[in-house]
Amino acid sequence: MEFNFQFFMNDIVQQARKEIVEAGYEELRTPQEVDEAFSRKGTTLVMVNSVCGCAGGIARPAAAHAVHYDKRPDHLVTVFAGQDKEATARAREYFVGYPPSSPSFALLKDGKICTMIERHEIEGHEPIAVVQKLQAAFEQHCDEV
């Protein structure tokens, strides 16, 4: 039996996309979609998705659970590093002062970066710790809903 790596990876990518969309995040797959989403008024949480283990085991579960909070972003969006490369590159142009990192979270207000939770703050941590970091950012930058 021959192992088809590309078929295997396509399945992983589709599952990763499905998980974050089902959590309420809008997929941004082109630079134009990124610009449109980031031009919206209010706060926007950007989840930079990836296929690594810490994305599936920590970041995506944290992304899903963190938004169940009194203060939360107005908009939830995601770009997929390594998959939607142009959209991810455009999103990263907005993350001034932060190096590329995936998975990661960026919190924007009116299209400007407020804060970022980078891979080193996700990898090796429990999902609840990432939820708490996200909710601390929401507490500081978001309005109550």
Among all chains, which residue has been given the structure tokens 């999902």? 127
Q: Which residues are catalytic?
A: 52, 54
